[in-house]
């Protein structure tokens, strides 16, 4: 037994009122109740884990159709842009090609104009040379001595000739048969001729093969004086070897030739257009 078991305490006993004790008891009870509730709640949460479910939207048939339509629209827009780009590229290419064609056409037109001007100039020079040559030939004819049985040609005189015979008659008959035919540059018959084509065809009737053009025909035979012409001689205008026109002397101061597009094949007197010279092939 303790030595102090029966020793009375010297501390004074506290005076605790009933109300104070009751309040403390209530507070203690409230605290204990709160702890009990909290504990039970913690136990409940500990027993059942918390999970959270996210609900995703369900893709319905309408949404699927809308998505497909949106994709198709996007493809159509892309195709439209691509088509527009191709069209723009084609237009640009066509514009460049048109510009190149225009430049080429302008170049050709300029070249054609230049060529035409050169040809006109050459033609004018040729005509001037022909006029000068005719003036010279007329002077020669004027100075030539007249002969008997002649026909006047401009200021000079030439032998009128007589009736053609043999091959000459055949040549003359052929050219006279073509009187009235058309003149066509490069024409060789049977209904249209140029001057050298008619002469070539006429002499072919008697087996004489003449060159095709008047320049060569003017040197095909023997040069003869205009004052000593015979039917069947070839008359030429211009220089020998550079003649620009030929015809056939048919006698009596007349010739037949394919003159020009306006008159065609005609028979004219020598005074109509005095020739520069003549050659004889028969």
Q: What is the pLDDT of residues 128-145, one digit of tens each?
A: 555 554 544 444 443 433
Largest Cα–Cα distance in the chain?
211
The pLDDT of residue 236 is 98
CA distances 145 to 114, 149, 154, Å, are 49, 13, 14
The pLDDT of residue 142 is 39
pLDDT-above-90 percentage for the chain: 41
133 contacts: CB under 8 Å, gap ≥ 6: 238, 239, 276
Burial 131-165 (b: 16+ CB within 10 A, else e): eebbeebbeebeebeeeeeebebbebbbbbbeebe
166 lies in some domain: yes
Residues 118 and 168 reside in one and the same domain? no
Higher pLDDT, 103 or 187: 187
For residue 224, give the nearest of 215, 212, 234 by alpha carbon. 234
Residues 110 and 193 reside in one and the same domain? no
233 lies in some domain: yes
Helices within the chain (DSSP H only) = 18-47, 61-143, 166-177, 195-204, 214-217
Please say if the pLDDT value at position 175 is more than 80: yes
46-68 mean pLDDT = 61
Residues 262 and 212 reside in one and the same domain? yes
Higher pLDDT, 249 or 105: 249
| C-alpha–C-alpha distance, residues 201 and 254, integer Å | 19
Looking at 143, 161, 192, which one is the last position of a domain? 143
Higher pLDDT, 124 or 197: 197
Lowest mean pLDDT across 28-37, 95-104, 110-119, 240-249: 28-37
Q: Is the peptide bond before 190 cis (omega within 30 degrees of 0)?
A: yes
Higher pLDDT, 9 or 141: 9
| C-alpha–C-alpha distance, residues 147 and 108, integer Å | 59
């Amino acid at each position: 037994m303790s030595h102090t078991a029966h020793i009375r305490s010297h501390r004074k006993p506290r005076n605790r009122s009933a109300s104070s004790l009751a309040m403390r008891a209530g507070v203690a009870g409230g605290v204990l109740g709160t702890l009990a509730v909290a504990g039970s709640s913690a136990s409940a949460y500990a027993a059942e884990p918390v999970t959270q479910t996210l609900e995703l939207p369900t893709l319905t048939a309408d949404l699927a159709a809308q998505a497909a339509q949106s994709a198709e629209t996007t493809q159509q827009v892309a195709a439209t842009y691509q088509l527009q780009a191709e069209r723009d590229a084609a237009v640009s290419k066509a514009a460049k090609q048109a510009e190149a064609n225009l430049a080429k056409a302008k170049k050709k037109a300029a070249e054609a104009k230049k060529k035409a001007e050169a040809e006109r100039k050459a033609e004018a020079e040729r005509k001037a040379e022909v006029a000068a040559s005719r003036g010279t030939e007329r002077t020669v004819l004027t100075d030539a001595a007249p002969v008997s049985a002649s026909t006047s040609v401009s200021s000079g005189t030439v032998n009128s000739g007589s009736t053609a015979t043999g091959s000459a008659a055949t040549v003359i008959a052929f050219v006279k048969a073509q009187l009235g035919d058309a003149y066509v540059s490069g024409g060789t018959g049977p209904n249209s001729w140029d001057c050298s084509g008619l002469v070539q065809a006429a002499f072919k009737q008697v087996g004489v093969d003449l060159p095709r053009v008047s320049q060569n025909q003017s040197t095909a035979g023997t040069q003869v004086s205009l004052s000593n012409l015979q039917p069947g001689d070839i008359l030429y205008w211009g220089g020998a070897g550079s003649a620009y026109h030929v015809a056939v002397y048919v006698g009596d101061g007349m010739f037949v030739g394919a003159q020009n597009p306006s008159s065609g094949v005609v028979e004219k007197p020598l005074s109509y257009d005095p020739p520069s010279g003549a050659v004889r092939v028969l």
